[in-house]
Structure 1
């Protein structure tokens, strides 16, 4: 048994307490006590001057996508280079305080293989939930690495294939997007009927579903299909928000994605990427604000792997949320408890509670006073093992 003393403990459920002892054994939290309850002779790791909180969970990344390459450079990478990039990005996530993540789209079964390498200890990184390939219409958003599917029969069959290949979650493209040439973010793509069979097959297998959904009609189609999480949600209206509330659908806004492109891509990225990013950025922020004010369930994902949206910058998404009106404690809850629930891993992840993994980050500063404290992580524990020690 190992004992860790926290000067300040944020549990991921919206609670904060002081001078607490965490009892850790075999990678899990076995007890949580007030410091004065511990016998004086017991030795503990002393973080009396630090804040401890659950490891962050990034609900939307792309595990192999580099943020600083032109498209032709990215496509020219060899399989070995891609594998190296995937391992490097996993390090970036973990050492910035992310102890679990969901990767939502890469080629082939690369995500499943990376997940398995992390699970067997070959690669050091956060616990991964993966979709493998995405399901999109022919020529739709993400078609180059996705499973192009037209009609309900193809959508059903390809969902079954993805489940056979080891997908933890099924990702469906409901609309166009920014990064695919020749499609528009607001345009609906897969139909409600096509998405519904994907959702049915995933749910029969006990898996969750997520949808890339930016335009309003595509979001409606996805909700009517029974989707579990809306990724991006750029054009939300009151009717859509009300339906999300009724159905308990999660929103993963990925606020950082267009912001990083607009801030850093001018003169470097293709004109169509810049045009679409500038088109959506203001509506994106306003939709997030309305959804948050209405009480929609929100999880934190960055879309890491899109241009200049680096894998070690998950905390920047929380900074943006706070900038747009979210209280720091709520933002932390979104990135821990809520993200775990969104991914379906809440039994073991997301909060500091007895029985869950000892996935912890240690901060010198208090993120409740300044959310950017999360951008300077001092120590990271994954499954009770110290993996970063600054």
Structure 2
């Protein structure tokens, strides 16, 4: 199958814009890019780009495609099947926002990933972590004071709770066995879990090193949910590949991260979004969550700005699933707020993200022989990156050469 996209301006980060181009897609790959007339088959599908901007589909490096706010009450009340059907709605919302690949930080499992690959529903492609490693009493240990455990489990889906070097070693292996593409670790407290604080680290350095060594032996990267300064340092010392959130990072630790090539996925959108929209009225823990959130919002952007100035590589991630899906590219505005150029922000969610997940040869830019995961945008985001935050400006989305959004 051939598709010809005519009359587009190609926008790749770190490159000059290529104007008035024709792009030929054959099956799922970009076959040819030319300013001249392109030879095609008789049954070619033609898309008139109308002088709009063709870009690589975005990669969200921190999302939760199955999640709908992570409310423990819903885990208790809803049938298990609904947990999976959420992914259908959320997947389409995310694709419509211009995101064609995600790093899912839980709880999408191997079955959800297979279903997407088979085309059973429209969704970003997924790199999955299945479920995070959680310390007893730590962030996302959903064992309640009542004695009830709100963690969702079913055959093939491992529980994440573990303590001590032997348990974390076994749990890392279990999660790999369950089909994980990377390992996620809850290395500090968080906003959504009661009786934990974002200020304090979780897991000790020996445990963290054990996780990293086992993951790296199997060529899996390790990402840490971590707000705590001490926790960030523990993770860098243990050899982690990325820090998610990084709220209380300082200049010294930023320098250490940059030296060790540890990436930072700041997810600024989620805190700003929650701060302004709040929690449901029926959430019994809303006051505690809001108090923690206020402390994060006070310092997060300022600290991420310091990390950027110290040379830490930032990647675009949103924590969608904690907040409503489909707002993903609003994160780009927050990235430019802390000092990134529009071009750098776009790169953080395209070519740099593709490199981090090991897909630079196939994703992240509009280039011949790469997979045709593309978006057509109304306007030039290099002039105004907020264009991308309005889903109505994402005119078309192409994934594996197939049109999955068409305005």
Mean Cα displacement is larger for which, 20-29 or 221-230?
A: 20-29
Q: Secondary structure at the match of 2:348?
A: helix
- What's the counterpart of residue 252 of structure 2? 239
Q: Please give the per-residue CA displacement for 1:238-295, whole angstroms capped at 9, x wherever unaligned.
A: 2211111111111100001111111010683511110000011122111111112222
Q: Does 1:302 align with 2:309?
A: no
- What's the counterpart of residue 387 of structure 1? 404
CA deviation after TM superposition for structure 1 residue 211, in Å:
0.5
- What's the counterpart of residue 220 of structure 1? 233
Query: Structure 1: where are the runs of 5+ without partners?
Result: none
Query: Using the alignment, how far apart are the partners of 1:26 and 1:267 within structure 2?
Result: 45
**Gap change, CA 1:41 and 1:134, over 3 Å in 2:** closer
Q: Does 1:378 align with 2:395?
A: yes
- What's the counterpart of residue 58 of structure 2? 56
RMSD over equivalenced CA pairs, Å: 2.0
Q: Check the 8 A contact 1:29/1:357 in 2, yes or no.
A: yes
Matches within 5 A, 1:212-291: 212-265=225-278, 268=281, 270-291=286-307
Mean Cα displacement is larger for which, 145-154 or 278-287?
A: 145-154
- What's the counterpart of residue 200 of structure 1? 213
Mean Cα displacement is larger for which, 375-384 or 37-46?
A: 37-46
Q: Check the 8 A contact 1:136/1:143 in 2, yes or no.
A: yes
**Count of residue correspondences:** 383
Query: Using the alignment, how far apart are the partners of 1:77 and 1:173 within structure 2?
Result: 25
- What's the counterpart of residue 36 of structure 1? 36
Query: Using the alignment, how far apart are the partners of 2:5 and 2:280 within structure 1?
Result: 50
CA deviation after TM superposition for structure 1 residue 355, in Å:
2.1
CA deviation after TM superposition for structure 1 residue 6, in Å:
4.5
CA deviation after TM superposition for structure 1 residue 366, in Å:
1.7
Q: Check the 8 A contact 2:66/2:90 in 1, yes or no.
A: yes
Query: Structure 2: where are the runs of 5+ without partners?
Result: 143-150, 152-158
Query: Using the alignment, how far apart are the partners of 2:192 and 2:100 within structure 1?
Result: 27
Matches within 5 A, 1:127-142: 127-142=125-140
Q: Check the 8 A contact 1:130/1:169 in 2, yes or no.
A: yes
Q: Secondary structure at the match of 1:361?
A: strand
Query: Using the alignment, how far apart are the partners of 1:319 and 1:74 within structure 2?
Result: 33
**Gap change, CA 1:40 and 1:27, over 3 Å in 2:** closer
Q: Secondary structure at the match of 2:33?
A: strand
Q: Secondary structure at the match of 1:299?
A: coil
**Gap change, CA 1:14 and 1:277, over 3 Å in 2:** farther
- What's the counterpart of residue 187 of structure 1? 200
Q: Does 1:325 align with 2:339?
A: yes
Mean Cα displacement is larger for which, 269-278 or 324-333?
A: 324-333
Mean Cα displacement is larger for which, 134-143 or 45-54?
A: 45-54
1:348 to 357, 362, 373: 362
- What's the counterpart of residue 183 of structure 2? 170
Query: Using the alignment, how far apart are the partners of 1:294 and 1:113 within structure 2?
Result: 40
- What's the counterpart of residue 146 of structure 2? none
- What's the counterpart of residue 147 of structure 2? none
CA deviation after TM superposition for structure 1 residue 38, in Å:
4.1
CA deviation after TM superposition for structure 1 residue 358, in Å:
0.4
- What's the counterpart of residue 68 of structure 2? 66
